[in-house]
Chains A and B, each alone.
Chain A
Amino acid sequence: MLDALGEPQSVLVFGGTSEIALATIKEMPRHRLRRVLLAGRPSESLDAAVAELRDLNITGVEAIEFDAKNTESHGAIIDGVFDRSDIDVVILAFGLLGDQMTAEEDPSHAVEVATVNYTGSVSAGLHVARRLKNQGHGALVVLSSVAGDRARRSNYVYGSTKAGLDAFAQGLDAALAGTGAHVLIVRPGFVRTRMTSHLPEAPMTTNPEDVAKIIVAALKKGKSTVYAPGPLRFVMAGLKTLPKSVFRKLPS
């Protein structure tokens, strides 16, 4: 349960190796946490993430086997977690950046990005929402992206999956109104992570720790959408209204 100051006791992460999700957990008061579940495909990096949190003396850290593409399995995995005890914060953090040029030459690569980022999130998100509604409280954090705000030549396959996910999350939040549960949509810009390490940095680049701070603060305030960094909200509002002819001339 959240306490009176909004500090969580239990967190479930889908995409358990996500640097943003792990930084978010570290940003929470660690001694308050009683149960931290990192869901993902079994791997050395998932084990390393579990070990890293345990080394910080966080109680109840466990890995859970989860494959975003295997949507048939999602219901049972999520029920298994919630049957044991309530979850205060769920973070949907898995996703593939993919490679735009590869996707254009081999549409099956685009399908994989779409399946993981969109289909997988819709499936896990709906199962989680059902259980949050049942427990009468809880937050679902959805890691969207500014890439979904306006499609760009350089990464529109990825961007379109985030646009779809973002619209899904907005609607899910509306569906959860009055149930005690809610959705927080996070739209980061360029974040320095493994996923982006091969790319040139964009303006207003942040670190996972910066995004984590924004997420934790937004959870406490019960916000429904945040940008990271915050002022990106205004940049994106501007970009969305630019005429196509101008927008396409911007450096990608």
Chain B
Amino acid sequence: MSGAVATELSGWGRTMPTVARLVDAHSETQISELIKDADSRGVLARGLGRSYGDAAQSGGATVIDMTTMTGFRLDADNMSVTADAGASIDEILRQIVPRGFFVPVSAGTRIITVGGAIAGDIHGKNHHRDGSFGAHVTELALIDGLGVMHNLTPKDPRFWATVGGMGLTGVIVSATFTVIPIQSSYITVDTERGKDLDAVMSSMLERDHEYRYTVAWIDSVSASGRGVITRGDHSTAQQCNDDKIKNPRSYDPKKIATAPGLVPKGALNKWTVQAFNEGWFRKHPSLRVGEQQKISAFFHPLDGVQEWNRIYGPQGFLQYQFQVPDSAGNLVEIALGKLREIGAPSFLTVLKRFGPGNQAPLSFPQSGWTLAADLPAGVPGLGRTLDQLDDLISAEGGRLYLAKDSRQSPTNFARTYPRLEEWREIRDTMDPNHVFASDLSRRLEI
């Protein structure tokens, strides 16, 4: 196969790499040929590799690097962007924010592709009112398992099988999604500290609906579960003017630093994280209203530090993100408690409220709570504790996010995604020979 290079691939958590034949995407014809020529190891599209686990790697397979096809255009009249699947949200924002538009949904990083945003059906701080990314896609072009191109719209069940379908229904080559008008590149942010988990969760229940964007950072080391809630909305031109901001639409986020390549094992431990969390909590005032923050500082604070995933050292890390309905909100406290018991240090623990889910059979969000915690893979007892949490969560109708998952069992997955069979039936019409495969699809027996 021309241009294929044996390459070790892993997810953002840098755990369990496998080796695949990596090929740069050049054209739809080439992608179609790669699919038709696939051997039994199959084909998978890969974007910027920000999913934490094994979703964008596939041992022995042909993995197509989509980040070589990056074209996109803004249609200001229709308020939409049409982009190649490999175009990054980062590049798109750099073009559209100064022209007064923003993406409808933004994840915690902008270093992701449009194809990945659809395949993972990503969500952001506005899920409670705007839903996930797939809800804002109006059309997508996909090459199926027979190498045939299709234009899919939300009327088509194949569209929804592709949203959240983790790249297993075909190779997304382009998509059109709506954008929202903004008057500035600033967010007017209200910050509120909660002295314990109860205070944080009650405040979120009470007031989240008043804001477009909200999220809470939780101090996972403190037994209180204290946290900091930040909420905001796009600043109007008037607000920027009042705050004497000179270029309210300027947008040019820079990389501030690169994480060191070699971090000694154990540098990130209970005590260093405790010190960080203490400082982070204290840094925020108990209440602050109307602060102007740049879009990049509010949405993507970690993107300023390149390769921050390296701070977890050679064993890598995982992110445990689960969702539970409101009736099982106590699982947030139980999960934090169990992780504290085994001394799993997490300085990035984030709590958020979800609104209703969408029609996509494998889309993750459903109404209720979602908690995400970054955890070093080397913590003793981590596997058993997370397995116990999986059981508690699935018993309450909750589940794990596939774009983050790197360790749940196939039985837990099948139990918690009840529409899996329905999705498989649609997938079988799109990819009858199961050409599309990833390490995730093998691990979870999808």
Contacts and interface: CB of A to CB of B under 8 A. Distances in A.
Given A5-B382, A5-B383, A136-B60, A179 B13 contact: no
B19 A179 contact: yes
B222 interface: no
A86 B406 contact: no
B411 to A, nearest CB: 9
B409 A32 contact: yes
A1 B442 contact: yes
A9 B16 CA distance: 13
A4 B15 contact: yes
A24 to B, nearest CB: 17
Nearest to B318: A4
B91 to A, nearest CB: 30
A9 B443 contact: yes
A9 B41 CA distance: 18
**Chain A interface bracket (under 10, 10 to 19, 20 to 34, 35 or more):** 20 to 34
Main secondary structure of the interface of B (DSSP, over half): loop
Contacts of B402: none
B15 A137 contact: no
A31 to B, nearest CB: 7
A3 B13 CA distance: 12
Nearest to A3: B407
Contacts of A85: 442
A34 interface: yes
A4 B316 contact: yes
B16 A2 contact: yes
B377 interface: yes
A136 B61 contact: yes
B6 A135 contact: no
Contacts of A1: 16, 54, 59, 439, 442-443
Contacts of A32: 409
B19 A86 contact: no
Interface string B33-47: 000000011000000
B17 interface: yes
B387 interface: yes
B19 A136 contact: yes
A158 B437 CA distance: 44
A136 B443 contact: no
B356 interface: no
A230 interface: no
B443 A135 contact: no
B261 interface: no
Contacts of B445: 34
A7 interface: yes
B6 A178 contact: yes
Nearest to B11: A4
A70 interface: no
Interface string B273-305: 000000000000000000000000000000000
Contacts of A134: 41, 60
Contact of B377 (A5, A86, A180): A5
Interface centre among B8, B19, B406, B445 (most CB of A within 10 A): B19
Nearest to B378: A5
A51 B60 CA distance: 34
A107 interface: no
B163 interface: no
A180 B406 contact: no
A135 B410 contact: no
Contact of B387 (A31, A34, A136, A137): A31
B219 to A, nearest CB: 24
A7 B387 CA distance: 12
B59 A29 contact: no
Interface in B366-418: 377, 382-384, 387, 406-407, 409-410
Interface string B1-41: 00000101000010111111000000000000000000011
A195 to B, nearest CB: 33
A86 B409 contact: no
A57 to B, nearest CB: 13
Interface string A173-205: 000001110000000000000000000000000
B406 A3 contact: yes
A6 interface: yes
A7 B6 CA distance: 25
Contacts of B382: 5
A3 B6 contact: no
Nearest to B382: A5
Contacts of B6: 178-179
Given A7-B383, A135-B41, A136-B61, 17 more contacts: A1-B59, A3-B443, A4-B54, A4-B318, A5-B377, A6-B15, A34-B410, A135-B18, A135-B60, A136-B18, A136-B20, A137-B19, A137-B59, A178-B19, A179-B6, A179-B19, A180-B8
Interface of B: 6, 8, 13, 15-20, 40-41, 53-54, 58-61, 316, 318, 377, 382-384, 387, 406-407, 409-410, 439, 442-443, 445
16 contacts: A2-B16, A3-B406, A3-B407, A3-B443, A4-B13, A4-B316, A5-B377, A29-B384, A83-B40, A86-B442, A133-B60, A135-B41, A136-B18, A136-B19, A180-B59, A180-B60
| A-B interface, 7 closest residue pairs, ranked by CB to CB distance from nearest | A136-B59, A180-B19, A4-B406, A136-B60, A1-B443, A4-B15, A3-B407
